[in-house]
Amino acid sequence: MFKVLVSDPISDLGIQKLVDADDVVVEKKIGLSEEELIQIIPEYDGLLVRSQTTVTDKILAAGERLKVVGRAGVGVDNINLEAATQRGIIVINAPDGNTITTCEHAFAMMMALARHIPQAYAKTVSGVWDRKSFLGVELHHKTLGVLGMGRIGSEVAKRAKAFGMEVLGFDPFLTEERAEKMGITLASVDDIVRNADFITVHTPLTPETRGIISTDQFAVMKKGMRIINCARGGVIDENALVEAVNQGIVAGAAFDVFEHEPPQPDHPFLNNPKIIVTPHLGASTVEAQENVAIDVSEQVLHILRDEPFKNAVNIPPVAPSVMSKLQPYFVLGEKLGTVAAQITNAAIQEIVVNYAGDLSEVDTQPLTRHILKGVLSRHFGSDVNIVNSMHLAKARQVNIVVSKSATTKGFTNLISVALKLENGEESIVGGTLLAGYGERIVQINKFTVDLEPTGHLIYISHHDKPGIIGKVGTLLGNNDVNIAAMQVGRKTVGGEAIMVLSVDKEVPKKVLEELVQLPEVNTAQEIALLSK
Ligand SMILES: NC(=O)C1=CN([C@@H]2O[C@H](COP(=O)(O)OP(=O)(O)OC[C@H]3O[C@@H](n4cnc5c(N)ncnc54)[C@H](O)[C@@H]3O)[C@@H](O)[C@H]2O)C=CC1
Ligand SMILES: O=C(O)C(=O)COP(=O)(O)O
């Protein structure tokens, strides 16, 4: 049974699928401190959050069973991604559900700014009928600068066009062609700050976007401009903004987000009549909350059940077309990695993966992560997974080399995993997926084999001598170990050879020791394969 903790207010309707799942228990505990979370997190396999819970390294470290952190929303700046990756914890978000809601909030903020709605409301309900103080401006024919033309920024730009605004957009990924299609002008940050009547920011908070609007940018702005931040506190420098408002450069500012949330009661935004604020409400609509919760619950369920999932933020995204090509090879890749690691005892210095045939034309990085997981699982056990396998290898100074080649040795696809070892030797395992027949190991070190990697395998290296097969068979038979299949490989008559036996049950250690006592046998070891 999986246990999932919901530590922020997340839509009940949205997480219904998770609650209804027979193999999941969902518990809601809102508003816990870091210490309280550290105390209880060891029980849980999944954690669902919004932006209030700060998911620290200490919480992740305490989460012994934690497999996934699901963010019911977009921004993951409240989650220590680096620590999650190191610990092999998958972090997913719900990238689409908050787009329209946040766009509409930003637009509402822009209109509220243009017409002083919050200030006029406060005065009116206080009993003062004041029509003189609130002379507004129209949006029509004004220039709107949008910094960050992703999902939300693009929706804001679309609506601004409908209001008759001229839109200047900046985003490192915005091309001239796309800007033209949207009917907006591709501009630099400098163009925007010099020419816009309104500016709205829609970027994540990154080292690059922190303070993207600060003192230098305010200094060259049009006097009387207005500015909106419904993205993240810190994208617009808070102190620089207050100064620009006080200097009359900024006629009005609307902020939904703060550098520290909630802000202290003496925060300068909270008593400035030209600055309007909301308590991080961008995503707070019924529709969005349901959608992000549904989205994240579905993916959490997939992850807990070891099924394919999407929206991971600490694994590079993969196009569905590429994923469907790679998926069939994941288990084979992991098995090749695990076999390569088990047929040697020497330390690994480099892992060289070669893809040939069908696999040479696709982005194989996700498959490489599975192979690395297989290699490292010998020493890391269940602590290694596809999220941290690359990281763990690099952290141990194991070099990873991936190559593609046209030579397939007659197979339609071929994966070769070569471990370069400290003692100068190599441990090589090659495999293929045969249409209609499934997985096959076709090479072990320098020997060609044809082996189905299932069940229990025994790997024996020996000298090729008449009678050795009989001796091994008798020894195993005497110990009640039944042989299901056997493969023998040799390069020369009477030379070095290998034997790989598929047996029906786990082989006791003492039997392996007896095998090594046979004069022709050099090594005999059991190879543990994956459960599926
Ligand atoms: N107030 C609220 O409740 C909400 C706030 N947000 C915030 O809005 C942000 C944007 O959300 P989406 O549009 O869904 O994300 P998105 O990923 O679709 O768009 C972000 C865009 O910012 C661009 N960007 C990154 N660095 C930049 C830079 N230095 N200069 C200009 N553009 C840059 C990216 O290229 C990307 O196109 C989120 O990261 C989140 O912080 C999101 C949802 C709700
Ligand atoms: O999705 C986002 O990035 C948001 O900022 C929304 O935050 P929230 O889920 O409302 O705490």
Mean of the pLDDT values across residues 512-530? Answer: 90
Give the atom of ligand 2 at the shortest distance from the alpha carbon of 289.
Answer: 9
Please classify residue 252 by burial: count the beta carbons closer than 10 Å to its beta carbon, then call 0-12 exposed, 13-18 middle and 19+ buried: buried
E strands, 51-135, in order: 68-71, 90-93
Domain contains 310:
no
Could you tell me if the CB of 202 is within 6 A of ligand 2? no
Could you tell me if the CB of 195 is within 6 A of ligand 1? no
284 Cα: distance to centroid of ligand 2 (angstroms): 8
Asked if 458 and 526 count as a contact pair (C-beta separation under 8 A), the reply is yes
| 112 shares its domain with 250 | yes
Give the atom of ligand 1 at the shortest distance from the alpha carbon of 99.
Answer: 14
Question: In angstroms, rounded to a whole number, what is the distance separating the alpha carbons of residues 371 and 369?
Answer: 5
Q: Which of 526, 322, 326, 340 shows the shortest CA–CA distance to 433?
A: 326
Q: Convert the pLDDT of each residue in 152-177 to its tens digit.
A: 999 999 999 999 999 999 998 888 99
96 Cα: distance to centroid of ligand 2 (angstroms): 12
Q: Which of 387, 382, 297, 311 shows the shortest CA–CA distance to 24?
A: 297
Question: In angstroms, rounded to a whole number, what is the distance separating the alpha carbons of residues 138 and 452?
Answer: 73
Q: Which of 41, 77, 78 shows the shortest CA–CA distance to 58?
A: 41
The alpha carbon of residue 358 and the mean position of all alpha carbons in its chain are separated, in whole angstroms, by: 26
| 152 shares its domain with 226 | yes
| 231 shares its domain with 103 | yes
| 257 shares its domain with 386 | no
Could you tell me if the CB of 75 is within 6 A of ligand 1? yes
Q: Is the pLDDT of residue 531 over 80?
A: no
Using the 3D structure, point to which of 390, 424, 453 is the last residue of a domain.
Answer: 453
What is the 3-class SS of 203-264, one letter each residue?
CCCCCCCCCCECHHHHHCCCCCEEEEECCCCCCECHHHHHHHHHCCCEEEEEECCCCCCCCC
Using the 3D structure, point to which of 385, 419, 453 is the last residue of a domain.
Answer: 453
| 154 shares its domain with 239 | yes
Ligand nearest to the CA of 95: 1
Options 50, 105, 226, 232, the catalytic residue = 232
Options 36, 64, 82, 261, the catalytic residue = 261
How many structural domains compose the chain? 4
The verdict on whether 426 is a catalytic residue reads no
Q: Count the Cβ atoms, other than its own, within 10 Å of residue 312.
A: 18
Ligand nearest to the CA of 94: 2
Domain contains 146:
yes
Ligand nearest to the CA of 229: 1
Pocket test for ligand 1, best of 50, 74, 96, 285 (most atoms within 8 A of CB): 74
Whole-number pLDDT of residue 532: 39
Task: Give me the CATH number covering residue 63.
Answer: 3.40.50.720
The alpha carbon of residue 530 and the mean position of all alpha carbons in its chain are separated, in whole angstroms, by: 24
Task: Give me the CATH number covering residue 515.
Answer: 3.30.70.260
- The domain of 490 spans 455-532
| 196 shares its domain with 49 | no
Closest Cα to atom 10 of ligand 2 = 283
Which range has highest mean pLDDT (121-125, 341-345, 423-427)? 121-125
Q: Which of 154, 140, 162 shows the shortest CA–CA distance to 103?
A: 154
Asked if 511 and 481 count as a contact pair (C-beta separation under 8 A), the reply is yes
Mean of the pLDDT values across residues 181-194? Answer: 97
Asked if 225 and 250 count as a contact pair (C-beta separation under 8 A), the reply is yes
- pTM for this structure? 0.81
| 117 shares its domain with 191 | yes
256 Cα: distance to centroid of ligand 1 (angstroms): 14
Domain contains 510:
yes
100 pLDDT band, cuts 50/70/90, is very high
| 164 shares its domain with 81 | no
Q: Convert the pLDDT of each residue in 401-429 to its tens digit.
A: 999 987 777 898 999 999 999 889 999 99
| 173 shares its domain with 195 | yes
202 Cα: distance to centroid of ligand 2 (angstroms): 13
Could you tell me if the CB of 391 is within 6 A of ligand 1? no
Whole-number pLDDT of residue 168: 98
Domain contains 442:
yes
Give the atom of ligand 2 at the shortest distance from the alpha carbon of 73.
Answer: 1
Pocket test for ligand 2, best of 98, 202, 229, 290 (most atoms within 8 A of CB): 98
Asked if 229 and 252 count as a contact pair (C-beta separation under 8 A), the reply is no
| 270 shares its domain with 294 | no
| 233 shares its domain with 251 | yes
Please classify residue 289 by burial: count the beta carbons closer than 10 Å to its beta carbon, then call 0-12 exposed, 13-18 middle and 19+ buried: buried
347 pLDDT band, cuts 50/70/90, is confident
Closest Cα to atom 6 of ligand 2 = 283
Domain contains 282:
no
The verdict on whether 116 is a catalytic residue reads no
Q: Convert the pLDDT of each residue in 277-303 to its tens digit.
A: 999 999 999 999 999 999 999 999 999
Could you tell me if the CB of 256 is within 6 A of ligand 1? yes
Pocket test for ligand 1, best of 78, 146, 152 (most atoms within 8 A of CB): 152
The verdict on whether 194 is a catalytic residue reads no
| 91 shares its domain with 103 | no
